[in-house]
Amino acid sequence: MSPKTTLKLLACGLLTTLSLSACGTDDDTSTSTSSDEFAEAIPDGESLALTLDDGEDAADDVNGAALTGQPSELRRLTREVFTKVNALRESTQARVAALIEGVEPTTFTEGGFECKRWVTDNEAETIHWQLTSCQKDKKNRHFAFALKGRAVDAGDDALVAVMAGEGKVLARFDDKKRGSGKVRFDFDALSALTGEDGPAGQVGIGFRAAGRVRQLNVALRDFAEVGDDTPVTGLYRFKHILEVGGRVSLLAHGDILTRAEDDSLVQGTDGEIETVRAALAWNRGRGARAAAAVCGGTVGEDTCERIVQCWRADGVVTHEAADDQAEAGRGHGNGKHARVNWEPAMCPAAAAGLDDIEDAPSAEDFDVPAGDALPEEPSPADGE
């Protein structure tokens, strides 16, 4: 199978499973936190955003030289995937922002914890919303929060949580929120509450943003877009250093491939579950390198289709290679694939502070450390 065909399959796999910068200290230019830490502890869109800032899009002429390659489809698809994943939480976070900005909160104490609550007061609303944030640990600036809703004519016993989590407040950087914690978005609960068609499943995000550095672990559980009856479970690990570069790796399971009449692999479903593993590292202003694999299921037991690709800052492909039908354990003993050689002159290394990519990630690369699982719904009223 040619690299172009393999890339197309992987791209389809990525879109299907996803349709849905490293650790550092605070920068010296950090600013003080908001005067209302109850609201500051709730992550905003910038804190949770997946972004790819590897460079500018290709023009007809780059540095006075004609283009020798084609724009990277994998790069375009990665940006499209990031946009889709970001869009999943945007409507919920917009509701949170509207409550905080437009409603005066009430303060109360329950179970020994100080809390604030923002409640909708709009007769045009068909849903009664309430956002609650409670201080769990004053010294460590640790809060628990939840956005709940119910029909306007129902009692509070009908409240359901569509977003819940906990967060610690850190000093702002360049007027951007900074902090750490975890948050869960429940799309099943949201659709049941609003009566509107929407995505199904849950998305959990573990986050830390400090100074120029943001880190995210994004977990999808039984997630499916509207009209899609093949739910996907997956995990993304994302690191980003502002103005420097970033790295993202993903693991996802779903029924994404089938066999055509000529026995070639094509996008589709056949009841067999494939595994997608991929990693991408970019160096701002220099370009990126990526390695991806689709394994098992229709591809074959202990068998993978995979590709590596590099592109420069304008998105034009500089190197591409495939290693088709490689035995998954060959030469490694740990489930990784036989290595595909990189072309150093064509493939930029990862930015300083980020792990480089030598191969598609192995299953062990996605072992979940303690605290990275989808968060259970906290109970802000009692601080548990």
Residue extents of the structural domains in the chain:
3-366
Residue with tokens 């693991």: 251
The pLDDT value given to residue 210: 93
* Alpha-carbon span 179 to 166, nearest angstrom: 10
Residues paired with 134 in a beta bridge: 115, 144
Q: Is 23 left (phi over 0), alpha (psi -120 to 50) or beta?
A: beta
Contacts of 162 (CB under 8 A, 6+ apart): 92, 147, 148, 149, 185, 186, 189, 190, 193
Q: pLDDT by residue (tens digit) across 231-256?
A: 777 888 999 998 899 999 988 887 87
Dist CA 199 CA 256 (whole Å): 18
Q: What pLDDT is stored for residue 35 in this prediction?
A: 52
| Side chain identity at residue 4, one-letter code | K
Q: Say how many residues make up the chain.
A: 384
The answer to whether residues 6 and 307 touch, using CB atoms and an 8 Å cutoff, is yes
What CA–CA distance (Å, rounded) separates 254 from 17? Answer: 7
Q: In this structure, how many other beta carbons lie within 10 angstroms of the beta carbon of residue 168?
A: 17
At residue 351, the pLDDT reads: 82
The DSSP code for 26 is P
- Measure the CA angle with vertex 73, ends 67 and 75; round to 5°: 95
The pLDDT score that the predictor gives to residue 11 is 53
What are φ and ψ of residue 211, in 5° steps? Answer: 60, -130
Tokens representing residue 123 in the block: 């007769």
Evaluate whether 131 touches 380 at the Cβ level (below 8 Å): no
Tell me, what's the pLDDT at 133? 97
**Which positions of the chain have pLDDT values less than 50?**
15-34, 58-68, 325-338, 370-384
